[in-house]
Every structure is written in C-alpha cells, then in structure tokens.
Amino acid sequence: MRTITVFKGDGIGPEIVDAVVKILEAAKAPLAYEFFEVGEAEYERNGKLIPDAAFASFEKNRILLKAPITTPIGKGFRSLNVTLRNKYDLYANIRPAKSNTAVKTPFDHVDIVTFRENTEDLYVGVEEQVDADTVHATKIITRKASTRIIRDAFAYARANGRKKVTCVHKANILKLSDGMFLSIFQEIAKEFPDIEADDKIVDNVCMQLVMRPETFDVMVMPNLYGDIVSDLTSGLIGGLGLLPSCNLGTEYAMFEAVHGSAPDIAGKGIANPIATILSAAMMLRYTFDLDKEADAIEAAVKQVLKDGYRTIDIMPQEDAKKAYVTQVGTSQMGDLICERI
C-alpha cells in the first residue's frame, strides 16, 4: 500500500477529486490518500495558499495528485502550479493527446506526446517595470534544463516504440536562447540514430497541427511554447477535458489535468473529470508500475464514451439531439466509469 498526497484544489477541483478517488478505489489501486485543501479558498480561511502540512505530506510521499487551482489573471499571487514545479524541480511536463473515435473531431488519428520544459523560459516570472509605459520580462534558457528535457523526450520515444521527435522553437528570431535549445537538440539526436529527428518553428507547428496532426509524434520544446501547443493538441482530440498530464522530476512527481479550476461552473456538478482520471491512470502506470489498474481505468473511460455518455464540454450541439448520446454530470460520469472497470 502506497500513500499519495491529494490537493483538492479550487473551483471544480473538489468535485473532480471525489470522482477520481472513487474510480481508483473501483480499480483496486493499492493506495492510501492524504487530502488537503489548497488555493484561494484556503488562503481566505487560514492565510496560506498551501498549508505547511500539505507541503510536508508531498515531501514525505513524493507523489501528488492535484486538482485544478485558481490563478489570478494580471494580478494577485503567483501561479501555485509554477511554484510547485519550481520548488520540487518538476522539470518535465508530459502531455499525451490521443484521438478517441467515440468523440467526433475533424481528426481521427492524433497520437502526439508533448514534452514541455517546465522550470524556466518566461515562467521564471522575472518582470521589471521600467517606466509607466514599459515592462521587461526575462526569458531564461539553460543548457542543463534543455538537455534533460530533450534527452527525456528521445528516451521516451525509444522506450515506447515512437518513430520521431520534433524540436519546436523560434530560433529564427531568438537566435541565442532558442538557438541554444535547438543546437542541444541536434547534439542529443546523434545519440538516438534509430529515432527520426526534425525541427520546426513554433508558428509553423501550430499551422501544421491543425492541417496534418498525424505527421507529429513526440514533440519537445521550451516552457511557453509547450503550454500553448499542448493546449492546441487538446483541441484536436475534443478539448482540455480529455487531456491528461504529469510533471516529473528526479525525486517528485505531480499528476494533474491541464485545464483550470473553472470557478464559473464550480458546484454545479457538470465538470468533466476525465482529464484528471486519465492523469491518475498515468500515475499508476509510470510511478507505481500498476499497468493492469491503469489499463482498466483507460478502457473504462473509452467504453463510457463509446456508450454515448458526455459531459457538457464534449457534447457538441449536433449530438445533443441524438438519442444515443446522453449528457451526464461529474459524479455520474465517475459512477459510469466505475461500473465498467
């Protein structure tokens, strides 16, 4: 029995966590849980965004399942996601986007894994107000951080039978920072002659993804591009409600959905828990080697979608009138997945 730390998050976070834990228990995952309230509401109650006990739990258990946490836009406290990634050196953000034939999109054969460097670039949050009309933001790219994320992307490709790794950059303009990232990619690619290596400018990647996504396999890129491009890949498969992710370091790991806390629908029971459910399956597979339990959860998710059940975010208007499609809420979706495990 392994104990993991669970942050229940803000907004839709608590209701999603309830569904996810129910599914982990249905899959008979040998886990115990330490739950913590974190985020804006916790700050209002107790004056801390993340309680000391929550940090201590993560440092003891080293595995965190995290629900969405609210990040203020343009003001207020710094993103807690960024804080956790930097504090625990969770340098690799891995986001797999794979088509599900039950969810209709313009593309049927998307199978892309994005490796996003997770600790530097513009996300270091160094900004300077030069004068009333000018702000400078610092972009940091280092050889250490670039090397480890690029090497991880190639190692993943080799270990999982992938054929190609694409470096995404803007080295035509940012010749020193992105130029160094690209040159490191080219150096490391020589160590993996069995894996095809190519590179593309980030704006071209965005165009190609919405025209020929099947030509992409594994992608690796600096932090900012990874944030944007991986969200784009979620749109190819039906939306953020279907995109899982993990944040890995050498000592700690954090698993979370890519989407936000959606405070506008909090408490309404309509949020899609699937992205967090699939993130939990990633946790079982890649951290605990519980392939059987992870397979069971992933298969149950596929079956529920095949059976025509949808939360509102993945239910296009044209499907709403069809008899074989049924709209369900957060808890119902969790129950339906449990029944198929």
Active-site choice (123, 156, 225, 309): 123
H helical segments located in 12-162: 13-26, 40-46, 52-61, 80-87, 143-159
CB 279 within 8 A of CB 242: no
Q: Is 123 a catalytic residue?
A: yes
CB 96 within 8 A of CB 112: yes
**Alpha-carbon gap, residue 62 to 50, rounded angstroms:** 16
Q: Is 33 a catalytic residue?
A: no
Please give the model's pTM, rounded to 2 decimal places.
0.92
- The count of other CB atoms within 10 Å of the CB of residue 170 is 19
Q: Is 203 a catalytic residue?
A: yes
Active-site choice (10, 121, 178, 227): 227
H helical segments located in 37-140: 40-46, 52-61, 80-87
Burial class (CB in 10 A: 0-12, 13-18, 19+), 86: middle
337's enclosing H/E stretch is helix 330-339
- Report the topology of domain 106-237: Isopropylmalate Dehydrogenase (3.40.718)
Distances (CA, A) of 314 to 67, 132, 209, 233, 305: 19, 44, 20, 15, 10
CATH topology agreement for domains 1-91+240-341 and 106-237: yes
Q: Is 313 a catalytic residue?
A: no
CATH of the domain spanning 1-91+240-341, picked from 3.90.1010.10, 3.40.718.10, 3.30.70.260, 3.40.1010.20: 3.40.718.10
| Tens of each residue's pLDDT in the chain, 341 residues | 899 999 998 889 999 999 999 999 999 999 999 999 988 778 888 888 899 999 999 999 999 999 988 765 544 455 778 889 989 999 999 999 999 988 989 998 999 999 999 999 998 889 999 999 999 999 999 999 999 999 999 999 999 999 999 999 999 999 999 999 999 999 999 999 999 999 999 999 999 999 999 999 999 999 999 999 999 999 999 999 999 999 999 999 999 998 888 888 888 999 999 999 999 999 999 999 999 999 999 999 999 999 999 999 988 766 555 657 899 999 999 999 999 99
Q: What are phi and psi of 19, to 5 degrees?
A: -65, -40
H helical segments located in 289-329: 291-306, 317-320
Number of residues in the chain: 341
CB 196 within 8 A of CB 163: yes
- So where are the chain's domains? 1-91+240-341, 106-237
Which residues face 65 on adjacent strands? Answer: 6, 255
- The count of other CB atoms within 10 Å of the CB of residue 201 is 16
Q: What is the 3-state secondary structure (H, E, C) of 215-251?
A: HCCEEEECHHHHHHHHHHHHHHHCCHHHCEEEEECCC
Q: Is 231 a catalytic residue?
A: yes
**Closest listed residue to residue 64, CA positions, set 43, 81, 79, 45:** 81
Residue 264's pLDDT is 83
Active-site choice (48, 108, 163, 203): 203
Which residues face 310 on adjacent strands? Answer: 327
Active-site choice (89, 152, 231, 295): 231
